[in-house]
A and B are shown apart, each in its own frame.
Chain A
Amino acid sequence: MSENTNQGQGIAGHGSFFQDTNLSRDDALKATDWVRKHVDKRTIDLGERMDDIRDHMWELEKDGQIIVHRITDLHEPVDVTTLFGWNKRVPTTKLWHHKSCGQCGNIPGYPTSIMWFMNKFGAKPGEDYLDETDQTSCTAWNYHGSAIGNVEALAAVFLRNFHQAYVSGKQHGFELGHFFPLVHCGTSFGNYKEIRKYLVESAELRERVTKILGKLGRLVDGKLVIPEEIIHYSEWLHVVRNKIASEHQTIDVSNIRVTVHAACHYYKMVHEDAIYDPEVMGGNRTAVGTSMAKALGAQVIDYSTWYDCCGFGFRHIISEREFTRSFTMDRKIRVAREEANADVMLGIDTGCITTMDKNQWIGKAHNQNFSIPIMADIQFAALACGADPFKIVQLQWHASPCEELVEKMGISWTQAKQNFESYLKEVEAGNIEYLYNPELALGGR
């Protein structure tokens, strides 16, 4: 299709010898019409087999069983299309940051870059977004890793956190539902979507967790609060990407070769909810992540193992590390390096970035002397918009050679590092710079 500008680099899993037909968009659609009608799994699923859980959610609300936390005009939503052509509304403001334990603990430049962009858009902290201490992890990493936990516990955690998001505006002088949850972590995102599905489908589960939430004082009018949509930060980034590129980009990244690893729990769990866009990789991949890199003008390069997981494995990264190291090196880093000669691998999730970032050095033990900088799409975008590589993008916590990418983008790593080391002295003296008034985190105004 004419939208493929990666000459000779291949798209959609055809490999490096893919040749563009140079058909116009209309001609290409006409040429493939029969195939799409007859064998496109999405069409089959959409027409006959797949149920939209949101329809049942509205019915439950109508029956007075739950309250749906709505996305309203206040949230300035943007409509996008998911795998089967269904509509999903992505709010762009009045957002409640549902943080990720892996990101905050290990890749803090992830959440800081998100908030930095919100500030760039003119968002007012405490009104247009809220980050507070009344939030727990989703606990799904532990669940998938150890199996200590169960659906009831996961559901109660989900409902507790999302109830807090629903009521959080009150303390800041707004109505219920003012802040809509923005989920930073892919594991949380996949888990919450799965749990929402179970909650909507199982009256027994709802009954059990209602008792728990009641005891916690986390019901509204005696009802559970379930959000209209589960929104991942990469979806928010997807819908604001053109604004970022047109209004805030300061660095030309057209010389940067980007590979993208989309998180499994973003698009393989409850896959009908993941965003696809015909303008991004022909709609053959989930759009998030890639769309940001393309909007910035970077060269998005395909690689044959795009569908593979990163090797995180939940328990594997802790107790089966040889699997994690081997898989990430052999199936991701080596391929992105050899096939795409990538300058960077962008991720959209916590576990993937940790896995691919931290497990490259050990490859030297097996003579795997190759590496690639690893970071999130939002961190790359922040760099392209002039964010400080240390203060904001927090690349000091990354083990992969991010300095190589930063230098290629025309930013002096050495100078930025020196500036940051000077800033650390200020921090020690108590002169700390904040993205928002710290009192907001503790419920203050």
Chain B
Amino acid sequence: MATYAEMREIYDEIRGDFRYDHELNGCLNCGVCTATCPSAQFYDYSPREIVQLLWTENVEQIYDAMQEKIWACAQCMTCAARCPFKNSPGGLVMIMREVAIKHGMQSAKDVLRPFGRVMLKLITTGNQLSPDMIQPDHFPDWGPNIQKVEGDLKTLRKAIPVRTLQTVETAWEVSLKTSVEMYTIWEMTGVLAALEAMDENLFDVIEDFIDEKREEYDDWLEEQEDD
């Protein structure tokens, strides 16, 4: 359990985010946000509660909400569209999630674990989803009709009449230069550092991949110069 000073520090970080004053303008406790919230129908989660905790600077319960509740939000932003004060509870939740990541909270690590494949794909290729990730055996609950024409995935993708989409391991073909530019963005914005703090094994795999791709790109550049 964190000390009060640690919890206060976490709150101050949330409060210090430049978006905070966009997302929280007051609260009438009207509950429109919760009434319209999909997650409130399924979880012990209320956007009104999140707003109230922040509005009243209840640092202990803010910390408590960051252990689980904030991860229930579906990020649909219905709350933001409805709020008469122009608050964005969903936006506040994102700030809280980012701070949870920065502080290496266990809740964030738990959430990230099933997200590993998406993360690996995204960081290394610049695509979040690929055809080979959504094969019938990965999602048996999607039923037997998930693919209406039998056939080899590569051939089915080749039958898409758009050149960039004839891929299996990425949603579209991303040029090597583009991916390498993306790695620079990840590094310079602290995304890779956050990932390392969250999941060291995943980070190691990603780092190796990035090194390999950069070498490949450097080789290609040298080849161009030689030509």
Q: Which residues of A contact B (CB under 8 A)?
A: 41, 49, 99-106, 108, 111-112, 115, 131-137, 139, 141-153, 156-157, 160, 190, 198, 202, 204-205, 211-212, 215-216, 218, 264-265, 267-269, 271, 307-309, 311-316, 318-319, 321, 323, 325-327, 331, 358-362, 390-392, 394-399, 401-403, 417, 420-421, 423-424, 427-428, 432-436, 438, 440-442
Contact = CB atoms under 8 A, between A and B. Distances in A.
A434 B18 CA distance: 47
A421 B155 CA distance: 11
B67 interface: no
B111 A315 contact: yes
Contacts of A436: 162-163
A240 to B, nearest CB: 20
A331 B38 contact: yes
13 contacts: A105-B127, A105-B131, A108-B160, A133-B172, A134-B178, A139-B126, A147-B98, A264-B77, A271-B81, A361-B145, A391-B161, A397-B147, A424-B149
Give the most central of B19, B74, B151: most A CB within 10 Å: B74
Interface residues of B, number: 82
A215 B18 contact: no
Interface string B4-31: 0000000000000011000000000000
Given A312-B76, A434-B161, 20 more contacts: A101-B171, A102-B171, A106-B171, A112-B160, A133-B174, A136-B127, A136-B178, A142-B122, A146-B115, A147-B94, A148-B191, A150-B194, A153-B185, A269-B81, A309-B78, A362-B141, A397-B148, A399-B146, A401-B145, A442-B175
B184 interface: yes
Nearest to B181: A216
B62 interface: no
A441 B28 CA distance: 53
A316 B164 CA distance: 29
Contacts, number: 269
Interface of B: 18-19, 36, 38-39, 41-43, 71, 74-78, 80-81, 84, 86, 94, 97-98, 100-101, 108, 111-112, 114-115, 118-119, 122, 126-131, 133-134, 139, 141-149, 151, 155-165, 170-175, 177-179, 181-182, 184-186, 188-191, 194-195, 198
A146 B111 contact: yes
Contacts of A432: 158-159, 161
A160 B180 CA distance: 12
A205 B189 CA distance: 11
A160 B74 contact: no
B71 A309 contact: no
A151 B165 contact: no
B149 A420 contact: yes
A358 B146 contact: yes
Contacts of A323: 39, 42-43, 74
A421 B191 CA distance: 44
Give the most central of B41, B129, B144: most A CB within 10 Å: B129
A442 B115 CA distance: 31
Contact of A359 (B38, B86, B142, B156): B142
Nearest to A312: B74
A62 to B, nearest CB: 24
A307 B36 contact: yes
9 nearest A-B residue pairs (beta carbon) = A361-B143, A136-B126, A147-B97, A105-B171, A313-B74, A438-B163, A309-B76, A268-B81, A319-B114
A5 to B, nearest CB: 28
B39 A147 contact: no
Nearest to A204: B18
Contacts of B147: 396-397
B101 A157 contact: no
B112 A146 contact: yes
Contacts of B77: 190, 264-265, 268-269
A105 B198 contact: no
A212 B76 contact: no
A252 to B, nearest CB: 25
A423 B155 CA distance: 10
B156 A156 contact: no
Contacts of B98: 147, 150
A441 B184 contact: no
A153 B134 CA distance: 27
Contact of A198 (B19, B151, B178): B19
